Chains A and B, each alone.
Chain A
Amino acid sequence: MAAREQSGGPSEPLPEEHPPAALDVLHLDMDSFFAAVEVQRDPTLVGRPVVVGGTGPRGVVASASYEARVFGIRSAMPTAVARGLCPDAVFLAGRFDVYGEVSRRLREILESATPIVEPVALDEAYLDVSGSHRLVGPSRSIAEALRRRVRDELQLECAVGVGRTKLIAKLASKAAKPVVGPSGVVPGPGVVVVEAADELDFLHRHPVRAIPGVGPRTAERLARFGVSSVGDLASVGRESLVRLLGASSGRALHDLAWGRDSRPVVAERAARSIGHEETFAEDIRDGAVLARRARESATAVAGRCRAGGVEARTVTLKVRFADFSTVTRSRTLARPADTASVIGDAACELLVGLDTGTGVRLIGVHASALVVAEQGRALQLQLFGGEERPGAPSAGEDGDPRDEIEAATEAICQRFGAGAIALLGDQARSGPRSGPAGPVA
């Protein structure tokens, strides 16, 4: 293996090649979220230093507006210290129900870009957009569009970082933030994309504390060996790091210092699902009718999975009985799927296990444990109909034109809102009381 020449930087050869340079990870971080929400809801606070946090003697700062940061106020600082730095700042206790509501709307915006959203906090999330390029465009466009929507719909600012890995995306979003200097707040670029070729340079410029897992104590220990930047860290041999920090964290830090971050963006299982529920005008007892309805919901779910470029590992059936008691049953698929037949089969198998004789008022199918759809998947074509309606013959000889239409419909609905377009048959079929369901609780 040829050693890689890097002038001025660490010269240790890469032990292994980088994976393909797809910039598919986004990190979105709201700008001083709690404080900004307060300012947005109370115009008299605009332009003033606002601090949200514990107001008691032992309280700490949860969020500070940029105006407050100019005074040196930072998150996690004791509120008493913050008061000392800026006695004129507005100190608020915080209304977490309000922040939660805004966060929920933020999540909806993020999920319009990709179903694979991993929330880290109310104001921060990772996104895997590898399945979204066909519909939405390159990662930079996705990032800019998200930023625009957050501004337009939430009247809040955020920064988005784009990179090949979570680590790079996170550092990039930080680089996209406004900067507080002695002369005031300098706006940041808003979106920072770190190309794979620039990744190590970018990474190595950061202090070691920028790497997750490096706390004050580790940083101090490293500093004693003259290691202060990530670049310094990268130039320390793997074995030396292991001796210094122990096997697991030594190896982990060495990998991260070389940009090797294999942590996937994982959609949160419970909230990260694609679901479709239908409430019936009249309770249904007939198992065959229920199975058909379950398949209809599965068809809708499958269409949205495909539109989002994801496949489901888990299928959940939700059944609400006439007496409003509700059960959910889940099963894990042999392999991730995005087709109505597989998701429908799973839903129907779950349905068979339930006693529906007392009547059912709602049936829902949810796909969760979503993963990015495998490329180059094989698809068994059908003689007639879409994949979804074997009983309805159509002239389609080349498989599933309906799938394409469904996918296109989904894309339009995602961009312009549900109801912007629907297939005629769907409008007639689904009736007024059905529609996409929210995340599974």
Chain B
Amino acid sequence: MKFRTERDGLLEALATAGRAASTRGAGGPGATSLQLALHGNHLVVTGSDPDLVIEVRASVAGDSDGVVLVPSRLLVDIVRSFEPGAVTLTSDEDEVRITSGRAEFTVRIPVGAEISRLSAAEGEGITLPTTLFAEGLRQVVRAALADDTRAPQLTGVLMVATDAGLRLVATDSYRLAFRDLAGVSALAPGSEVLIPARALAEIQRLVGSGSDGAEGKAEPLVFHHGELDAVFDLGEVQLTTRLLRGPFPDYERLLPASYPNSFTTSRDDLASALRRVRLMVRDTKDATTPVRIAFGDGGAELTVLTAETGRAAERVEGAYSGDELVVAFNPTYLLDGIEAIRSDTIILDVIDSTKPATVRGAEEDDYRYLLMPVRVS
């Protein structure tokens, strides 16, 4: 195999596919390698681990066809280190030669490597509204469980077909987020699929719809799924993910019917105050030092108190209706919810110090973020 191409385009293709390649060495040498397949001027870069495959197509100046596996991390690092300009990649049975300018790398091909493939999903794809879907992902993926051993089904985002459209739901059992995408029909009525949050985070990244509103790739996002896998096509990238199996928690039962106490305030004011008082929690993995919020007339008093570090307090102005009460939260979880809101004005609904609270936007009925308090005994 031999081809020539520009450094920037190649790097983007390799880095994107490389995000599916495992960095932990799980899944054998194939899972830490990228496969490069050249046919004419069409290069296909594939990165995969047993649960996720990312394939990126790129146009190059092909010389001779072929297929080769290269250690993922190393290849990405090599190409990234080059100056912008032409890169030539040549392979034979044992090694790959990568040259650019006066730099030349010869990399041995991993022995016995083979990349995993997921079964291709069947059926017609459905085109999703790319930006809207990515925005929903931004709001929901954050509530999924990161650790995959405790309850694998909670590491996914549930996509449910509703009467009004498509609903995305995720929960790690401490908080729960859902977003309704009105008018989006991605699934057969009444059906649902559980997609790993990791794959959806990649979709979100590929679409590049950041919170600053800058739109990245607005190409159509085509989705189809089978029994075991789901496929997303976005421009030159195809992402295939294994589906998770349920049962997903019966989340609708968790939504409180009413909230007696409601705090309305500026999203940014509350978020900045939380970020400040959270500085007192030195251990980022410490899930037990809460921020105590005392709700009362005209505002809320935020306090973080730790035995080791000290104390931080800040008052946030806002409209409060309800009983005076104190509720403690994990500040990071609360901040996650607040940052997911699009509206400038947010409403924090609380019941009491042990019942779920809700974060929502003032004019944002399609999104809810539920959060359990921290019990302080």
Name A's interface SS. Answer: loop
Q: Most chain-A CB neighbours within 10 Å: which of B175, B249, B285, B290?
A: B249
**Closest chain A residue to B352 by CB distance?**
A398
Say yes or no: B290 contacts A382, CB within 8 Å: no
Does B149 touch A at the CB level, under 8 Å?
yes
B143 to chain A, nearest CB (A): 10
A319 to chain B, nearest CB (A): 15
Q: How far is the CA of A392 from the CA of B374 in the complex (A)?
A: 20
Say yes or no: A383 contacts B286, CB within 8 Å: no
Residue B150 contacts which of A295, A380, A383 (CB distance < 8 angstroms)?
A295
Say yes or no: B376 contacts A380, CB within 8 Å: no
Say yes or no: B150 contacts A288, CB within 8 Å: no
Does A399 touch B at the CB level, under 8 Å?
yes
Across the interface, which residues of B come within 8 angstroms of A393, CB to CB? 249-251, 253-254
Does B145 touch A at the CB level, under 8 Å?
yes
1/0 per residue, CB under 8 A from B, across A389-411: the answer is: 11111010111000000000000
Known A292-B149, A344-B150, A377-B288; contact A384-B374, beta-carbon cutoff 8 A: no
Residue A381 contacts which of B150, B153, B247, B375 (CB distance < 8 angstroms)?
B375
Does B171 touch A at the CB level, under 8 Å?
yes
Does A10 touch B at the CB level, under 8 Å?
no
Name B's interface SS. Answer: loop
Say yes or no: A385 contacts B173, CB within 8 Å: yes
B115 to chain A, nearest CB (A): 20
Complex A-B: 19 CB contacts under 8 Å? A288-B149, A288-B152, A292-B149, A334-B283, A344-B150, A376-B376, A377-B377, A378-B288, A378-B377, A379-B377, A381-B374, A383-B173, A383-B175, A383-B372, A384-B249, A391-B153, A391-B247, A393-B250, A397-B354
Say yes or no: A390 contacts B376, CB within 8 Å: no
1/0 per residue, CB under 8 A from A, across B63-81: the answer is: 0000000000000000000
Across the interface, which residues of A come within 8 angstroms of B251, CB to CB? 393
Q: How far is the CA of A344 from the CA of B39 in the complex (A)?
A: 49
Residue B173 contacts which of A292, A295, A344, A384 (CB distance < 8 angstroms)?
A384
Does B100 touch A at the CB level, under 8 Å?
no
Known A390-B154, A393-B250, A398-B355; contact A382-B372, beta-carbon cutoff 8 A: yes
User: Which 9 A-B pairs rank lowest in CB-CB distance, beginning with the nearest?
Assistant: A390-B173, A291-B149, A381-B372, A391-B151, A393-B249, A398-B354, A378-B288, A390-B151, A379-B375
Does A363 touch B at the CB level, under 8 Å?
no
Does A341 touch B at the CB level, under 8 Å?
yes
Across the interface, which residues of A come within 8 angstroms of B286, CB to CB? 334-335
Q: How far is the CA of A384 from the CA of B375 in the complex (A)?
A: 15
Across the interface, which residues of A come within 8 angstroms of B370, CB to CB? 383
Residue B354 contacts which of A390, A391, A399 (CB distance < 8 angstroms)?
A399
A294 to chain B, nearest CB (A): 8
1/0 per residue, CB under 8 A from A, across B41-83: the answer is: 0000000000000000000000000000000000000000000
Across the interface, which residues of A come within 8 angstroms of B22, CB to CB? none
The residues in B between 359 and 377 inclusive whose CB is less than 8 angstroms from any CB of A are: 370, 372-377
A347 to chain B, nearest CB (A): 9
The residues in A between 257 and 288 inclusive whose CB is less than 8 angstroms from any CB of B are: 288
B200 to chain A, nearest CB (A): 19
Known A383-B356, A390-B145; contact A378-B290, beta-carbon cutoff 8 A: yes
Residue A345 contacts which of B147, B152, B356, B374 (CB distance < 8 angstroms)?
B147
**Closest chain A residue to B287 by CB distance?**
A380
1/0 per residue, CB under 8 A from B, across A317-355: the answer is: 000000000000000001100000100110010000000
B161 to chain A, nearest CB (A): 21
Interface size of B in residues (CB-CB distance below 8 Å): 39
Across the interface, which residues of A come within 8 angstroms of B376, CB to CB? 376, 378
Across the interface, which residues of B come within 8 angstroms of A291, CB to CB? 149
Say yes or no: A334 contacts B285, CB within 8 Å: yes
B174 to chain A, nearest CB (A): 6
**Closest chain A residue to B24 by CB distance?**
A352
The residues in B between 163 and 212 inclusive whose CB is less than 8 angstroms from any CB of A are: 171-176
Q: How far is the CA of A206 from the CA of B243 in the complex (A)?
A: 74
B146 to chain A, nearest CB (A): 11
Residue B373 contacts which of A334, A375, A377, A381 (CB distance < 8 angstroms)?
A381
Across the interface, which residues of B come within 8 angstroms of A380, CB to CB? 174, 287-288, 330, 372, 374-375
1/0 per residue, CB under 8 A from B, across A140-169: the answer is: 000000000000000000000000000000
Q: How far is the CA of A145 from the CA of B250 in the complex (A)?
A: 47
**Closest chain A residue to B351 by CB distance?**
A397
Say yes or no: B154 contacts A378, CB within 8 Å: no
**Closest chain A residue to B376 by CB distance?**
A378
Q: How far is the CA of A344 from the CA of B356 in the complex (A)?
A: 25
A288 to chain B, nearest CB (A): 7
1/0 per residue, CB under 8 A from B, across A352-388: the answer is: 0000000000000000000000011111111111000
Does B239 touch A at the CB level, under 8 Å?
no
Across the interface, which residues of B come within 8 angstroms of A381, CB to CB? 174, 354, 372-375
A353 to chain B, nearest CB (A): 11
**Closest chain B residue to A386 by CB distance?**
B173
Q: How far is the CA of A286 from the CA of B173 in the complex (A)?
A: 25
Q: How far is the CA of A389 from the CA of B254 in the complex (A)?
A: 16
Q: How far is the CA of A335 from the CA of B288 in the complex (A)?
A: 11
A331 to chain B, nearest CB (A): 13
Across the interface, which residues of A come within 8 angstroms of B247, CB to CB? 391
Across the interface, which residues of B come within 8 angstroms of A392, CB to CB? 249
Q: How far is the CA of A291 from the CA of B283 in the complex (A)?
A: 26
Say yes or no: A379 contacts B288, CB within 8 Å: yes
A227 to chain B, nearest CB (A): 41
Across the interface, which residues of A come within 8 angstroms of B372, CB to CB? 380-383, 399
B48 to chain A, nearest CB (A): 19
**Closest chain B residue to A376 by CB distance?**
B377
Say yes or no: B145 contacts A384, CB within 8 Å: no
Known A384-B249, A393-B249, A397-B355; contact A379-B150, beta-carbon cutoff 8 A: no
Across the interface, which residues of A come within 8 angstroms of B131, CB to CB? none
**Closest chain A residue to B254 by CB distance?**
A383
Known A288-B149, A381-B375; contact A390-B287, beta-carbon cutoff 8 A: no
Across the interface, which residues of A come within 8 angstroms of B335, CB to CB? none
1/0 per residue, CB under 8 A from B, across A279-314: the answer is: 000000000100110010000000000000000000
Across the interface, which residues of B come within 8 angstroms of A334, CB to CB? 283, 285-286
Say yes or no: B356 contacts A378, CB within 8 Å: no
A285 to chain B, nearest CB (A): 14
B327 to chain A, nearest CB (A): 11
Say yes or no: B375 contacts A399, CB within 8 Å: yes
Residue B356 contacts which of A389, A390, A397 (CB distance < 8 angstroms)?
A397
